[in-house]
Amino acid sequence: MNMYDIIYKKRQGEALGKDEIRFFIEGYTKGSIPDYQASALLMAIYFQKMNTEETYLLTDAMRHSGDVVDLSSIKGVKVDKHSTGGVGDKTTLIVGPLAAACGVPIAKMSGRGLGFTGGTVDKMESIPGFKTTLSEEEFLDLVNRIGISVIGQTGQIAPADKKLYALRDVTATVDNISLITSSVMSKKLAAGSDAIVLDVKCGKGAFVETVEAAEELAHNMVNIGNADGKKTIALITDMDQPLGNAVGNSLEVIEAIETLRGNGPDDITELSLTLAGYMVFCGGKADTPEEGRALVEKALTSGAALEKMKEFVAGQGGDPGVLEDYSLFPQPSYSQEIFSKDEGFVTSIDARRIGLASQHAGAGRERKEDDIDLSAGLLLSKKVGDKVKPGMLLATVFGNDPDRVKKAAEEAYGAFRISAEKPQMRPLIIKVIQ
């Protein structure tokens, strides 16, 4: 068995078997299969796709490429939450403290930036001193003591995915249903939680743009999770425009903190409360999702979730002072404002273009070895449906390279569409799949 034959077989549109998939995953994980051959197979999978059996086999092989975490020492029903990625999606930093404040243990492993999105680990590392690498003992202890810990994906948890995740990022093979399914579910199953809540993004700023593709992805992941004995629920949510107002690492953490203060944008607040409500329901702390929603709303208004965020930050070595003083975050040297030239309503904001603008300002990676400017990004001043006039501020771009900031501002301006008629808004939460 060799990689040439496997690549050729998939290029021809044939289904790969268990031994061939395992050969690829084991070889690439160990380093005997080079990036260029892995890239070729990923591209073949991208164009020829995988059937249901292949997707399951790929997920299973990736899951067993490393350790499978035992969370049995943590009391209670452990609930994991995962988003398929979107522009401005900082919900993990909100729903984690919300659910933990309601007594649901959150033991989560997150990734870095993928494509034009920012990864949760990148965002957390904008908090001075915050450690995203902990030993398994430290990780488990924090969840038992505080109720929440979020760490970077370790080299031992689905290491095949960690390598493939970075490679897909730079080879334009991100938005494939089977590759997304196997990436998400291999980590989720290996990470050891008892239940999983999935946020499947749909729209121009997501890796799947149509509702039909989002439903296919959601069903794939829910079926794999439930077949493994984990209560799995997926919410299909809108990503035609950025989520919230902040796009970029430290900017998104600040917005997450503001949301926990009760001052967040309407869309990020609504989605976070809904997701956290399902997490509380899956964790057995509520009999229905609606009851779970009521509990997390109480945790938000009482300040319990914000207090949990402080404990979470301090527990992982971060400076909890950032929750009071945002100047402790990395600061940009340059900014450029974007103004409207027209009068009317914002009818659309191309989330993908905003994401790429943020990436080009320094907030994302073009190559897997690139460093990220944690202060770079955008703040939107207008969202879809807002009325504007000439000279009104649409957005502000931040960064530490004036040329990149200028280029990003031009890209971001092109993401806005303004017309005379107020647009019809698509629901934020499109469908729930159980």
**For position 187, what pLDDT does the model report?**
87
**For position 115, what pLDDT does the model report?**
53
- Does residue 390 fall inside a structural domain? yes
Q: Taking 80 as the threshold, does the pLDDT of residue 367 lie above it? A: no
Q: Domain range spanning residue 228?
A: 79-323
- Does residue 425 fall inside a structural domain? no
- Does residue 61 fall inside a structural domain? no
Same domain, 164 and 267: yes
Q: How far apart are CA 229 and CA 3, in angstroms?
A: 34
Domain boundary among 291, 323, 355: 323
Same domain, 271 and 404: no
Question: Tens digits of per-residue pLDDT, 3-54?
Answer: 999 999 999 999 999 999 999 999 999 999 999 999 999 999 999 999 989 9
- Does residue 67 fall inside a structural domain? no
By the 8 A CB rule, do 59 and 41 touch? no
- Does residue 55 fall inside a structural domain? no
Question: Tens digits of per-residue pLDDT, 240-267?
Answer: 899 999 999 999 999 999 999 999 999 9
Q: Taking 60 as the threshold, does the pLDDT of residue 202 lie above it? A: yes
Q: How far apart are CA 168 and CA 182, in angstroms?
A: 13
Domain boundary among 267, 293, 323: 323
**For position 155, what pLDDT does the model report?**
66
**For position 63, what pLDDT does the model report?**
94
Domain boundary among 323, 339, 367: 323
What is the percent of the chain with per-residue pLDDT over 90, rounded to a whole number?
79
Same domain, 372 and 391: yes
CATH number of 26's domain:
1.20.970.10
Q: Taking 90 as the threshold, does the pLDDT of residue 109 lie above it? A: no
Per-residue HEC secondary structure of the chain comes to CCHHHHHHHHHCCCCCCHHHHHHHHHHHHHCCCCHHHHHHHHHHHHHHCCCHHHHHHHHHHHHCCCECCCCCCCCCCCEEEEECCCCCCCCHHHHHHHHHHCCCCEEEEECCCCCCCCCHHHHHCCCCCCCCCCCHHHHHHHHHHHCEEEEECCCCECHHHHHHHHHHHCCCCCCCHHHHHHHHHHHHHHCCCCEEEEEEEECCCCCCCCHHHHHHHHHHHHHHHHHCCCEEEEEEEECCCCCCCEECHHHHHHHHHHHHCCCCCHHHHHHHHHHHHHHHHHCCCCCCHHHHHHHHHHHHHHCHHHHHHHHHHHHCCCCHHHHCCHHHCCCCCEEEEEECCCCEEEEEECHHHHHHHHHHHHHCCCCCCCCCCCCCEEEECCCCCCEECCCCEEEEEEECCHHHHHHHHHHHHCCEEEECCCCCCCCCEEEEEC
State mean pLDDT over 361-372.
72
**For position 114, what pLDDT does the model report?**
54
Lowest mean pLDDT among 14-18, 68-72, 279-283, 407-411: 68-72
**Any idea of the CA torsion for 201, 114, 97, 428, to the nearest 10 degrees?**
-20
For tokens 């249901």, name the residue.
52
**For position 238, what pLDDT does the model report?**
94
Number of domains in the chain: 3
Phi and psi angles of residue 149, each rounded to the nearest 5 degrees, phi first: -150, 135
Question: Tens digits of per-residue pLDDT, 111-163?
Answer: 766 555 567 888 999 999 999 999 889 999 999 999 999 988 776 888 999 89
Positions annotated as catalytic residues are 82, 161, 168, 183, 187
Same domain, 128 and 190: yes
- Does residue 213 fall inside a structural domain? yes
How much is the pTM? Answer: 0.89
Confidence of residue 318 (pLDDT cuts 50, 70, 90): very high
Q: Taking 90 as the threshold, does the pLDDT of residue 86 lie above it? A: no
Question: By C-alpha distance, which of 153, 156, 160, 154 is closest to 59?
Answer: 160
Same domain, 282 and 187: yes
Q: How far, rounded to the nearest angstrom, does the alpha carbon of residue 169 sit from its chain's CA centroid?
A: 14
**For position 113, what pLDDT does the model report?**
60
Same domain, 159 and 292: yes
Phi and psi angles of residue 417, each rounded to the nearest 5 degrees, phi first: -120, 130
**For position 370, what pLDDT does the model report?**
66
23-28: long-range pairs with CB below 8 Å, 24+: 24/61, 25/58, 25/61, 25/62, 25/65, 25/160, 26/61, 26/65, 27/3, 28/160, 28/163, 28/164
CATH number of 100's domain:
3.40.1030.10
Same domain, 113 and 148: yes
Lowest mean pLDDT among 84-88, 356-360, 401-405: 84-88
Same domain, 153 and 121: yes
- Does residue 377 fall inside a structural domain? yes
**For position 116, what pLDDT does the model report?**
59
**For position 311, what pLDDT does the model report?**
98
CATH number of 395's domain:
3.90.1170.30
Q: What angle do CA 168, 174, 179 make, to 5 degrees?
A: 90
Q: Taking 90 as the threshold, does the pLDDT of residue 165 lie above it? A: no
- Does residue 242 fall inside a structural domain? yes
State mean pLDDT over 311-317.
97
Same domain, 133 and 279: yes
**For position 118, what pLDDT does the model report?**
61
Same domain, 121 and 13: no
Question: Tens digits of per-residue pLDDT, 180-198?
Answer: 999 989 989 998 899 999 9
Residue 66, both tokens: 């490393």
Average pLDDT of the chain? 93
Same domain, 317 and 342: no
State mean pLDDT over 328-338.
96
**For position 167, what pLDDT does the model report?**
94
Same domain, 189 and 252: yes
